Amino acid sequence: MTRLIVERVHRLSSRPWMFVTGQLEGDALRIGDELVILGSEAPSVLVTIRSIELHSAPAKTTVAVDADLADSIREGVVLGRN
C-alpha cells in the first residue's frame, strides 16, 4: 500500500493547485495517480496527483493536487491507494 501522511499544506495564488508535503510510504507516486483519503468518512474523494515537486526537503514528498480539495486535505490526513 502507498500512503502519503500529510504534514503541510500550502497554496500559491499563481498556481491552480495546492501543495501537499509529507512522508511517503510504499511505492513512488506519479503524475496522474489517483489516491483516496484513508480513514475518512467519505472515502470516495479522489485526489489526483497533478505535479510532483523535485525540491522537497530530504525524506519528504511534495505533490500538487486540485485546489478545490482544500476543505478535505489538511495536516494529519493520510492519502493512499490500496
Tens-place pLDDT, residues 47-73: 999 999 888 888 899 999 999 998 889
Integer Cα distance of 69 and 73 in angstroms: 6
CA–CA separation, 28 and 45 (whole Å): 21
Q: What percent of the chain has pLDDT over 70?
A: 94
Query: How many CA atoms lie less than 13 Å away from 54 in the CB half-sphere?
Result: 0
Mean per-residue pLDDT, 22-30: 95
82 pLDDT higher than 80: no
The pLDDT, as a whole number, for residue 75 is 94
